[in-house]
Amino acid sequence: MERKLVLEEKDLTIWKYHGIPEEGIAFFNHTNWGSAGTVYERKNSNELIRLLKDPYLYAIEQNNAIVGTAVFCHTQPLVADQPYNCYIIRYFAAGAAIQGKKIIKHFAGKVMEVVREGETEKTIYVGCVEKGNIRSYKVVKNAGYEKLGLLQVQAFSRFFPKEQKDMEQISATEKQHEVLKLLKQHYKDHALFHTDYLFLKNNYFIIRENGEIVAGCQYHRVHWAINQMPGIMGKIIMNILPRLPLINILFNPKRFEFLAFEGLYFKPGYEKTLLRLFEGLLHREKINSSLFWMAENCPYRKSLVAYGKLGLLNSFVKDSGVYIMTSYKHLDEKEIGTLRSKPLYASAFDYI
């Protein structure tokens, strides 16, 4: 894979790759994510990274070894039905050689400068920082980003998920168009709506009533290992829950397998049907837990939370969330104001 040298300072260099080289994937496989909050490993990142849409890796290297990374995924989300050029930043990480040092703060700013150079289109740069990760928040803010909003983490779980025989898998192209048209209308008043990771592995499912789609959802299978959680409750979750019968099938920190849901749709009043679809997907994958991300002010999240019945795991993640941080180029204040005023759409793939 070709690479381009974009910066050199002392014994550190920054290289740009269009795509993710194998050495980059190896670096991610051995990285602990998070810092002051929850610390975890992404155990199936080897598979998921290869599915990223149009990624550019900026790698900080020392002695020909990667010691820091940032991946910019090029996409075109909608803001109130208007498309924008956009880069979503993933896998912002520092290896042990530079972790905790001012180097990463310095180079984060340098990478941002390089990415913005020569950009002529109206462009939105989107980063995310886990709630409670103060160190990363300061680094990203120092690189010129502002907080746009908060995504809440929600969980859905069942001890014994039941089969839902009326689930329908969306695989044919014409049915995908039907779903996309529905979702675009559903999220027309949201910001940063994109469909890059819908229909992966034909894992979008729906439920119909009288021929009409009344609930829909895409899932991705995820495997994390949780190494640390903050506070007294974190210690309880890490050390006691795994020993409790039944509860340990919902959450095992050493092997936390779950489904990540996105592209959620439910017709007004059909919250129960969406949860039934969730349950059917858990049954299909022989798994008990799932996570999904929705804006704090998203009306659909509020409807689901008000309906309840999300399961026990949701009570353990109620204080978890992700801050969405943004920077802009060539957008005027009116456009930025529109972005700030809308609830954010969240693609689960961007956070796994």
- Residues 188, 272 within the same domain: yes
- Residues 175, 301 within the same domain: yes
* Arithmetic mean of pLDDT, 141-153: 94
Whether the pLDDT of residue 1 is over 70: the answer is yes
Q: Is the dihedral of CA 70, 71, 76, 79 positive or negative?
A: negative
* Arithmetic mean of pLDDT, 28-44: 84
Exposed/middle/buried for residue 219 (C-beta within 10 Å: 0-12, 13-18, 19+): buried
Cα torsion 283, 285, 286, 289 to 10°: value is -80
- Residues 267, 337 within the same domain: no
CATH number of the domain enclosing 31? 3.40.630.30
Q: Please give the pLDDT value at position 101.
A: 67
pLDDT of 192-231, one tens digit each?
A: 999 999 999 999 999 999 999 999 999 999 999 999 887 7
Low-confidence winner among 26-35, 145-154, 329-338 (lowest mean pLDDT)? 26-35
Q: Please give the pLDDT value at position 215.
A: 98
CA of residue 272 relative to chain centroid, distance: 25
Q: Is the dihedral of CA 96, 131, 224, 92 positive or negative?
A: negative
- Residues 269, 343 within the same domain: no
CATH number of the domain enclosing 196? 3.40.630
Confidence band of 37 (pLDDT split at 50, 70, 90): low
The pTM assigned to this predicted structure is 0.94
- Residues 175, 279 within the same domain: yes
- Residues 167, 237 within the same domain: yes
Low-confidence winner among 126-130, 176-180, 315-319 (lowest mean pLDDT)? 315-319
DSSP-derived secondary structure for 23-65: HHHHHHHTPPB-SSS-EEEETTHHHHGGG-SSEEEEEEEETTE
Q: Please give the pLDDT value at position 316.
A: 86
Confidence band of 341 (pLDDT split at 50, 70, 90): very high
Q: Give the relative orientation of helices 134-142 and 102-116 as an angle to the nearest 10 degrees.
A: 40
Residues contacting 212, CB < 8 A, separation 6+: 267
- Residues 161, 64 within the same domain: no
Whether the pLDDT of residue 102 is over 80: the answer is no
Which ranges in the chain belong to alpha helices (H)?
Answer: 22-29, 45-48, 102-116, 134-142, 173-186, 231-239, 247-250, 271-285, 299-307, 313-316, 333-341
Give the percent of the chain with pLDDT over 90.
72
Domain residues for 336?
A: 3-150+325-351
**Rounded-to-integer distance, Cα 259 and Cα 221, Å:** 5
- Residues 38, 131 within the same domain: yes
Between 39 and 159, the more confident residue is 159
Whether the pLDDT of residue 273 is over 80: the answer is yes
- Residues 311, 163 within the same domain: yes
Q: Are 33 and 96 in contact (CB under 8 A)?
A: no
Q: Please give the pLDDT value at position 100.
A: 64
Confidence band of 33 (pLDDT split at 50, 70, 90): confident
Q: Please give the pLDDT value at position 32.
A: 86
- Residues 73, 122 within the same domain: yes
Between 118 and 345, the more confident residue is 345
**Rounded-to-integer distance, Cα 14 and Cα 149, Å:** 30
- Residues 122, 42 within the same domain: yes
Between 103 and 273, the more confident residue is 273
Q: Are 136 and 343 in contact (CB under 8 A)?
A: no
- Residues 184, 237 within the same domain: yes
pLDDT of 229-260, one tens digit each?
A: 877 878 888 888 888 888 899 999 989 999 99
CA of residue 250 relative to chain centroid, distance: 21
Tally of domains in the chain: 2
**Rounded-to-integer distance, Cα 89 and Cα 112, Å:** 11
Whether the pLDDT of residue 26 is over 70: the answer is yes
Q: Are 156 and 235 in contact (CB under 8 A)?
A: no
Return the structure tokens found at 182.
């529905």
Confidence band of 161 (pLDDT split at 50, 70, 90): very high
Between 97 and 257, the more confident residue is 257
Return the structure tokens found at 302.
């509020």
Q: Are 305 and 154 in contact (CB under 8 A)?
A: yes
Average pLDDT of the chain is: 93
